[in-house]
Amino acid sequence: MHWFATLFLVLMVVRWLVLNGLERLNVASVRAHASSVPEAFRDTIDAATYAKSVAYTLAKARMTAIELGWSMVVLVGVLYSGGLPAGWQAWTTWVGDGIWASAAGLFAAVTLLSLTGLPLDWWVQFRLEERFGFNTTTQATWWMDRLKGLVLGAGIGIPLLALLLGLVEWTGRWWWVWGWGVLVVFQLVMLVVAPVVILPLFNKFQPLPEGPLKDRLLALAARTGFRARAIEVMDGSRRSRHANAFFTGLGRFRKIVLFDTLMNQLSEAEIESVLAHEIGHFRLRHVPKLMAWSTLSTLAGFACLAWLAEQSWFYAAFGFATPAMPVAFLLFGLLSDVGTFWLTPLGNVLSRKFEYEADAFAATAVGDAAPGITGLRKLHEKNLANLTPHPWYSGFHYSHPTLVEREGALKAWAATQGRTA
């Protein structure tokens, strides 16, 4: 076996062992606290709901173990069976090796690989989520979502891939800098287009109804200096009983979206706190900061791809006799996750810092930490969230602090204000 193929196989195995080790630590932590509601949550959640959250967490952990094993088997099969170079050769013989043919081939390869996970995705939605009362979608809606995603992916992804491949021919050695610039512009455009064009293809968005809640939220927006195109309610209940809220868009297309499930689960004061949290992300410039992190990461990725594309051993390791930029794109896409996996905790550290800051902003904006705390408790209870994750597991996987950590930070904020929460 080629030395690089051997090295990559070792790295894949190490990644799989680490992920499974983290899952085992998390399961052990959950089971260690499963016999009774932990003291920190006894005023928050009843015994029956806590037992259900434990069962849900353990069921998801078992499913994750299966998904990790299956994805590894698929990737090893694709990279080491010889099927990838044979398939690419067949494609180029049939369709050709021009820019558009190569872009379509890359999209087809990614699509075929994604299909290998479709049965597990279906099982999670219609068996696991159904078992715990979260699934509300129908078979027709679920399959239509995937069809829409495929059509959108082809309509957007193939031209973008063709443009990136074209830049290799048109701009020479520094194509990767141009490619990075194109991708950054594309991401900015999508921030404007997605809320207006793409998201409505999957969900219905309605303006927040007139009434005391809208008046309260508009008053909040006014005193925090937040101007948005709209505060909208999304029909999240069409697919799931999980609740959420998010901020999307740029400029005058900026808007806050609240799930209808969130509206049904929280009080007006708690919803105000959720909105204040989202406004906090905007006012504290978390979105551009995260975009800057993503932009730098993308630049590093393009530089790495450009270097690997010039190395003959990169192709030979996986059975490709002749270097070709589309093949470099394909291999890089398959291999990159094994490397970026180790950077996940760094991104989470930044994300958790922003969550703490947004929580503090929300408490200041509404003048009280209590609605934020009770709202978080309700959301964790309704979503059957894991209340006792292992610290290493949450540190590696969680982009948000745990409930205990967020409550502690909000109570500390209240203490500095001479209040109780």
Active site residues: 278, 359
Helix axes 3-32, 47-80, angle to 10 degrees: 170
Which segments within 292-345 are labelled E, that is strand?
A: none
Instruction: Decide: 240 and 129 in contact? Cβ < 8 Å.
Output: yes
Instruction: Decide: 369 and 414 in contact? Cβ < 8 Å.
Output: yes
Distance of CA 279 to the CA centre of its chain: 20
Structure tokens at 247: 């901020």
Integer Cα distance of 312 and 331 in angstroms: 13
Structure tokens at 43: 């005023």
φ, ψ for residue 123, nearest 5 deg = -65, -45
Instruction: Decide: 373 and 410 in contact? Cβ < 8 Å.
Output: yes
Helix (H) / strand (E) element for 205: namely strand 205-207
DSSP 256-269: EEEEHHHHHHS-HH
Integer Cα distance of 85 and 327 in angstroms: 9
Rg (CA), the chain: 24
Q: How far is CA 307 from CA 144, 287, 295, 313, 338, in A?
A: 40, 30, 19, 12, 17
Structure tokens at 120: 């597990």
